[in-house]
Amino acid sequence: MSITSQYLDEAVTLLSNEGYEIGDYNPHGVSAWLIQTGSIVAIGIGENELEAIDNVIDANLFDSIQLSNTQVRELMRDEMIEDYLCAGNASEYFDTLNGLLIDKIIQA
């Protein structure tokens, strides 16, 4: 069993909660995405990978890897900030140096 199939039921439920039923008209291709970094595993809903990541961040599911304002200033000063994920409605920075994996689970 693939890791994405382990999360299929939860993905279908999340899509349904957002008003998307499997097989219904979906012109924007809204899908459920499995997002993993380090020990964090989350499911995000979106038209594409970036929107799904933004939604996971806006739901506070990545708070444990959010960089502090001090860390961001130091990384900007050292010109290393490009190595970190900047996402969410507030354009916050997150430590994803251990990798960021994203796979589509299912499209509504």
pLDDT in tens, 49-91: 999 999 999 999 999 999 999 999 999 999 998 889 999 989 9
**Beta-bridge partners for 43:** 34
Q: What is the mean pLDDT of residues 13-40?
A: 95
In DSSP notation, 38-103 reads: TTEEEEEEESSHHHHHHHHHHTTTTGGGBPPHHHHHHHHHTT-GGGSEEETTTTEEE--TT--EEE
Task: For residue 38, name the pLDDT band (cuts at 50, 70, 90).
Answer: confident
Stated pTM of the model: 0.88
Q: Does 1 or 59 have the greater pLDDT score?
A: 59
Residue 3 has a pLDDT of 65
